[in-house]
A and B are shown apart, each in its own frame.
Chain A
Amino acid sequence: MHMVTLTKGVPDFREGKVSFDEDGHLERGKTPTVMNPNDKIALRAALQTKVKHGGHVSLMSMGPPGYKEVLQEGMKDVYADDLFLLSDREMGAADTWATAMTIATGIEQLEQEPDIIFAGFKTADGETGHTGPQTNWCLDINDELTDRPLITHVISIDVDEDKGTVRAKRLVEGDLSEIETIEAELPAFIVTDPEFEATYRRAEHRLRYKDLREATRERAATLELDEDVTVWNQEALNLDPDFIGLDGSPTIVSGVDPIPKEPSEREATVIEPDDEEKMETVFDEMKQYASN
């Protein structure tokens, strides 16, 4: 089995990491770039497939040279056998469409056509959720490659190597109360839902998982970013400049409106814990929420 997982670097939106200016604009320079959290979930699905069926997990991204560290993060925190970065100034400022075009070409460039391509639900910054499905469309129109079914909102997968199929459970309306099971032929394109959970019900799988996790942590720690990450530029991918980067992006962003912070509806009153009288009123207030 050959699996490719797609990823993107995003601002680290976690409390204490992210930085906004006075107008509420993200300060990119002050905010570290990390691997898109949803993509780690996709990568876990790839790792689960490798644990159960063996094979090879590639992690691929498009972005500036600094994204090598994002790929390294994926290798360290989840798993990767090899890392690919599609990087060129010409590719910059791409919308989801131009990105999908570029990535599809990157996948075509791989030595072996992947059995499963995994993508995360959406990125933490763009939040379109387009790039995965659009990449699959770009692969479909490529006559060199096999057409593959696209399964989105996947919460669990089960590969049957003998039958050459994948059975996936997916959320129908993004809702855990409605789950459908789909069986599709390999190769396939799978977009994992944030609810995806890898399951290992056999001890041998958990042991292999432990081995692979240990190995990938060690490899990531000693990774030489300049040598161990395969970087493909525009020339290497032989891309038509009209279809990539800003020129290849039909999306027009007419403007960005910051969402104003909602003013707090609650009023805070400071009460000293020693003030018995006022503390009494606090307890009276709380009483209604107490059980029994």
Chain B
Amino acid sequence: MRDTHEHYEAVVVGNGPGGAAAAAALAKQDIETLVLERGTAAGSKNVSGGLIYGEEWAPYTMDDLFPGFREEAAERPIDDYYIHNIAGESVKTFDLHKIHHQGTEWCDAVLRRTMDSWLADRVHEMTRETGGGMLTDVRVNGLLREGGKIVGVTCDELDPITADVIIAADGVNSELARDAGLMDWEEPDDWFQGVKAVVDMDPERINQRFDIDPTTGSAHLFSGDLFDGVRGGGFLYTNEDSLSVGTVFHLDSIAEERAEPHELLDNLLTHPLLDQWFDGEYEEREYSAKLVPDSKKVAHPSPHRGRLLLVGDAAGQMQAQGPIIKGMNHAVTAGGLAAEAFQEAKTRGQPGAAGALYERKLESEGVMKRLRPRRYRMTRFISESRPINKLGNAVINSRVGAAGLKLFDGLIERSFNSPFVLGMIPDTKMTYVTIPERIGEVLGDPVTSENNVEPPGLDDRIGDLTYNVDDPHIEVRDESFDASGVAVTACPVSATDFGGGCYREETVQTNGETERKVSLDTQPCVECGTCAVVADTHWEHPSGGKGVEFKQG
């Protein structure tokens, strides 16, 4: 028995939305499917801003694959969608419901622990009938190869397993995608980093303060000058009895500006605009963080190798174009398509062709064109061309620019609601900071209320998280400050002059010379992967059931 590997027709790695969708679609075709999840419960390793969409065009949606999903696993349906352009205390709000509802059947706020655990129960039930099932506390740590070909997976907790198809839905820091050479952590500008606070709020108060009824919810986006010039923005979504408030920034911008992500979040939390919702009360349930792939740059055009198919964040399938932020729905569609591709390939007697078929389906079903719009590819050069930026800044900041803004007030709101325009927005400071700031300044009205909220410090935020401590899973390869110093600021649970986080700056005396170094303690790690990009590290996930455990997600 020892010599023969355990075999399943399909192994799905990760029970997030992508993995769950793939597993459900496979199980519906009666394909023997084993799902391996690293968390001690599905969702305990997952964080997302919190909106999931049911798209009209999509061949697979959550509520199709999992009847009852919206009623049982999601928080509030999101109907209202606003963006606030902020300049100091002056704010101009645009209604974005048009772009929000464009091509969308529904949109719900979700908390991932609840959602993914709910999915996992269904997935286990469905896959168990095929002879497989869903297991938590198992970390898949790499690919099993025979004669150079991918034939299965290796795990910390289990003996190697072979499979006819491996669907890697193991998230943004996918170890399988990296093992296959399909992804790396090289460039900070391929990534966003998000941090989020889940804030307690009585359902009645949510209804009252957001002026919504108990069966609806609203979403608010924030951009402008409240984030110290770092490129990105903030969001606030209403859940059943909590709010998800967070910020998302380009990681290269966080690194360059030496910004402290938790402080940028605090900038949002303490802005006077938010007083209308907090009203002086603030009880933080959970602080979390995550890397987000920028699909415009890293959505893999060919996310497969041999028997391995990548789905969701692992394939860079996260659409973020201005106020359009869609990830989970693409993961669900991709999961469904990956399952479909394998089923078709198997029926044709060529299971090995599943990858190529999956790639074609991502194109033909319209996933890729949304993840990597051609218009963006055309305008991308702007982000690299400084003169154009300078010119834009000069115009937007001039009196002529101000007059233009005033003249085109309605047009600007319409532009924000245009998928065509949003698809070409370059990732520059001008679009993220200058324009919104100028809109707020020229068109905005001052917010008069005072926000007295005091968000908890990093030590409390770390202290409130649950950790099942394991051996260190990250190793700093180059401890010099030049190579890895950015991690001290960019890591969402570290900060300059804060000793209780992951990364710390140290001054070491060697041979009479002082040297700046960084030291690492992985105990409070939230496993976002930031340091793998901005520092020189050997980065792995902790073993199954180990490390941080998010209760909200």
Q: A107 → chain B, closest Cβ, in Å?
A: 31
Min C-beta distance of B541 to chain A, whole Å: 19
Interface string of B126-169 (1 = CB under 8 A from A): 00100011010010000000000000000001110100000000
* Cβ-based interface call for B282 (8 A): no
Query: A201–B159 contact, CB under 8 A?
Result: yes
**A201 — which chain B residues lie within 8 A by C-beta?**
157-159
Q: Are B6 and A204 in contact (CB under 8 A)?
A: yes
Contact A203 B8 (CB under 8 A): yes
Instruction: Output the nearest chain B residue to A201 by Cβ-Cβ distance.
Output: B159
Which of chain B's residues have a CB closer than 8 A to the CB of A207?
A: 34, 128, 132-133, 135
| A266 interface contact, C-beta 8 A | no
Contact check, A203 vs B158: say whether CB atoms are below 8 A apart: yes
Tell me the residues in window 185-210 of chain A with beta carbons closer than 8 Å to chain B beta carbons. Answer: 201-204, 206-207, 210
25 contacts between A and B (CB under 8 A): A201-B157, A201-B158, A201-B159, A202-B6, A202-B158, A202-B159, A203-B6, A203-B8, A203-B34, A203-B36, A203-B133, A203-B135, A203-B138, A203-B158, A203-B161, A206-B135, A206-B138, A206-B158, A207-B128, A207-B133, A207-B135, A210-B124, A210-B133, A210-B135, A211-B128
CB distance from B368 to the nearest CB of A (A): 33
Chain A residues, CB < 8 A from B6: 202-204
B177 → A minimal CB distance (Å): 22
Distance of A203 Cα from B133 Cα, bound (Å) = 9
Residues of B93-107 whose CB lies within 8 A of A: none
A207 to B6, CA, bound (A): 13
**Contact bitstring B12-55, A, C-beta under 8 A = 1, else 0:** 00000000000000000000001010000000000000000000
B506: nearest residue on chain A (CB-CB)? A292
Interface size on B, residues (CB 8 A): 14
Enumerate chain B residues within 8 angstroms of A202, measured Cβ to Cβ.
6, 158-159
For B128, list chain A residues within 8 Å (CB): 207, 211
CB proximity of A141 to chain B, nearest CB, Å: 38
Pairs of residues from A and B, 4 with the lowest C-beta to C-beta distance, nearest first? A207-B133, A201-B159, A206-B135, A202-B6
CA A32 to CA B263, docked complex, whole Å: 51
Q: Note all chain A residues with C-beta closer than 8 A to B133.
A: 203, 207, 210
234-284 of chain A: CB within 8 A of chain B: none
Docked pose: A207 CA to B124 CA in angstroms: 9
Number of interface residues of A (CB under 8 A): 8
**B residues 66-114 in Cβ contact with A at 8 Å:** none
Name the distance in Å between B428's Cβ and chain A's nearest Cβ. Answer: 43
- Per the bound structure, the CA–CA distance linking A201 and B6 in Å amounts to 10
State the CA gap A204–B11 with chains docked (Å).
13
User: Whole-angstrom distance between the alpha carbons of A283 and B132 in the complex?
Assistant: 57
Q: Which residues of A contact B34 (CB under 8 A)?
A: 203, 207
Residues of B within 8 A of A210 (CB): 124, 133, 135
Name the A residues within 8 Å of B138 (CB-CB).
Answer: 203, 206
Find the A residue at minimum CB distance from B160. Answer: A201
Contact indicator per residue, chain B 376-420, by CB within 8 Å of chain A (1) or not (0): 000000000000000000000000000000000000000000000
* Least distance between B143 CB and chain A CB atoms (Å): 16
Distance, CA A75 to CA B480, complexed state (A): 56
Q: Write the chain A residue with the least CB distance to B35.
A: A203
B:310-324 near A, CB below 8 Å: none
Chain A residue, CB-CB nearest to B34: A203
- State the CA gap A206–B133 with chains docked (Å): 10
A202 to B157, CA, bound (A): 9
Chain A residues near B124: list those with CB within 8 A.
210
A111 to B132, CA, bound (A): 35
- Bound complex: CA A202 to CA B138 (Å): 11
A residues in contact with B36, CB < 8 Å: 203
Q: Mark A52-93, 1 if CB is under 8 A from B, else 0.
A: 000000000000000000000000000000000000000000
Cβ contacts B242-255/A at 8 Å (1 or 0 each): 00000000000000
Contact with B along A208-241 (1 / 0, CB 8 A): 0011000000000000000000000000000000
Residue of B nearest to A204 (CB): B6
- Chain A residue, CB-CB nearest to B1: A202
Residues of B within 8 A of A204 (CB): 6
